[in-house]
Amino acid sequence: MAITTTHLYGLLALLVLWLVPAILVYRVAERKGRPGWVYLLASLLIGWPVPLLAALVVRRRAPPPA
């Protein structure tokens, strides 16, 4: 079985549909003052909807006292 262009496009589409939402979850977490890499890793391992929900629900961290 040879790899065709259709297979490559399908793989690229899956990659985009997996990575782009994970990166958006990372950005949401970072903007709320949370460790974005944890949310990114969770998004890649278990899928992005659950970490996205967690990132949206948590409160914004207060800035550290000066």
How many structural domains compose the chain? 1
Residue at 10 is within a domain:
no
Q: pTM for this one?
A: 0.78
Residue at 32 is within a domain:
yes
Dihedral (CA of 36, 37, 42, 48) sign? positive
Residue at 8 is within a domain:
no
Residue at 33 is within a domain:
yes
Q: CA gyration radius for the chain?
A: 16
Q: What is the pLDDT of residue 60?
A: 86
**51-62 pLDDT tens trace:** 999 999 998 887
Residue at 31 is within a domain:
yes
**9-65 pLDDT tens trace:** 999 998 899 999 999 999 999 999 999 999 999 999 999 999 999 999 998 887 766
Nearest in space to 55 (alpha carbons), one of 12, 22, 14, 16: 22
Structure tokens at 48: 């992005």
**Domain residues for 28?**
18-57
Q: What is the pLDDT of residue 64?
A: 66
Residue at 23 is within a domain:
yes
Burial class (CB in 10 A: 0-12, 13-18, 19+), 39: buried
